Structure 1
Amino acid sequence: MVLNKIFKFTDKNFEQKILLEKKYILVDFWADWCNPCKILSPLLDELVDQYSENLIIGKINIEKNPEIPVKYSIRSIPTLLLFYKSNIVATQIGALSKNELIDFLNKNIT
């Protein structure tokens, strides 16, 4: 499911989407009560079009989907996992500025 060009991951669709996708996938692990998550969310919305050629951006709510965060040992939010060909290629924990997020993406997407 896509929300505002940001893909909505769930426990049920996560593995299939990650395994089948040929592009990079950036997954934001978040929760409604998380203030740093609220800071990061609009930045992802701003960058989705800029990186759409090479990257899919998605979010997974850890409270509504508890299985995937446990599988990937998510202990703090927001956590960003960058996948490529079903492997984690980079991780970022905590809120970022827009410039830091752009640097993270540019450094890890080849």
Structure 2
Amino acid sequence: MTNWCSSCKVVSPLLRTLIQDEKVGEGQGGISYAEVEMDSPDMGGLGGLPLRYGINSIPTLLAFDRQEPQIATKVARLEDLKSKAYLTRWLETEAARDGGGGGGGRFGGLFGR
């Protein structure tokens, strides 16, 4: 996310509603959600986390499992990020991973369970 991203202002509330209010993913093992300000100096600016995790568009949704980024399942396509049905399926799939890994490489993940 970034504070200047208009698409982020659509995607973020949708994700929060799905996770916090509708409890999507709870039946599959549960998930946590954190927004990261990608251009923040604290995160290394645009050459920091985005470069580390191959993020080349904002917003991007990236899951972590056992502190490993699930690169293969990251979502950056805006149409998918704005789709409640797509995000519901994605969140349920990622929640069901429950420590099983398998979606991406080992980059020394930033967020874990």
With the length of structure 2 as denominator, give the TM-score of the two structures: 0.62
**Structure 2 unpaired stretches of 5+:** 97-113
What percentage of aligned pairs have identical amino acids? Answer: 28
Q: What is the total number of aligned residue pairs between the two structures? A: 81
Specify which of 45, 50, 68 is matched with residue 69 of structure 1: 50
Distance 2:94 2:35 in 1: 19
Compare CA radii of gyration and give the structure with the larger one.
2
Instruction: Give 1:78 shift.
Output: 0.7
**Structure 1 unpaired stretches of 5+:** 1-29
User: Does 2:88 correspond to 1:102?
Assistant: yes
Instruction: Give 1:98 shift.
Output: 1.6
2:51 aligned counterpart, secondary structure:
helix
Distance 2:51 2:95 in 1: 25
Distance 1:45 1:37 in 2: 12
2:33 aligned counterpart, secondary structure:
strand
Greater share of strand: 1
Distance 1:107 1:54 in 2: 10
Instruction: Give 1:105 shift.
Output: 1.2
Instruction: Give 1:80 shift.
Output: 0.5
Runs of 4+ in 1 over 4 A off after TM superposition: none
Greater share of helix: 2
With the length of structure 1 as denominator, give the TM-score of the two structures: 0.64
Instruction: Give 1:48 shift.
Output: 2.6
Specify which of 58, 74, 77 is matched with residue 91 of structure 1: 74
